[in-house]
Amino acid sequence: MRIVVFGLLSAALLLIPSSQAADNAAIKDKAAACAGCHGENGISQTENIPSLAGQPDQFIQWQLVFFRAGSRKNEQMQPIAEDITNEDIRNFGAYFSQMTPPKAADDSDPDLSSKGAQVAAGRRCGSCHTDSFAGTKGVARLAGQREEYLVKALHDYKAGARIGGGVAAMADVAYHMSDEEITAVSHYLANFK
């Protein structure tokens, strides 16, 4: 009997968090389900899965809304986002945005990076993503993101497989990029310090 009462009480507490601390504990539990793919501390070790640590709060929230609505399509993320509540979306945004962003390792190909730097300057990536490529509001962090994921994302925008927010700003940017430019700028950004 006691166990049943305790169970009911804790369920009620989860639904109506009584304090910020309870909130944090609940979201930490839920984020454990994300770590299997997005990595411990929000830093992905898996090909084609992005790191989430240090992404802007609003960017994370918008992407979860897009997956839930089906306007951003991905076999792995859509089932996860399907039943997600607005409150969870807000909490995930706060949780991952406060984590330390991934740090770039040593650059394996500085020549490719300097080509990528020219692409980024010429196409004014920093005008939206900020000069440090840390992102802001609905605009993604790019610095230190996994290289092959950046390549994939740019090809998805270019092919129209991903439309994105911000009046489809990225579809417009990527449409005009060559494959060589995508390769170079992704290398530059993944290694950006």
Phi-psi region of 3 (alpha: psi -120 to 50; beta: other; left: phi over 0): alpha
CB of 179 to ligand HEC, least distance (A): 13
**How far apart, in whole angstroms, are the C-alpha atoms of residue 43 and residue 182?**
22
Largest CA distance in the chain: 69
CB of 152 to ligand HEC, least distance (A): 6
**Angle (CA) 104 97 190, round 5°:** 20
Minimum CB distance to ligand HEC smaller for 7 or for 137:
137
Contact 91, 27 (CB under 8 A): yes
Contact 190, 146 (CB under 8 A): yes
Nearest residue by C-beta to ligand HEC?
164
CB of 81 to ligand HEC, least distance (A): 7
Minimum CB distance to ligand HEC smaller for 13 or for 117:
117
Which residues are near ligand HEC by CB under 6 A? Answer: 33-34, 36-38, 48-50, 52, 60, 62-64, 74, 76-77, 80, 92, 120, 123-125, 127-129, 138-140, 142, 145, 150, 152-154, 162, 164-166, 169-170, 173, 185
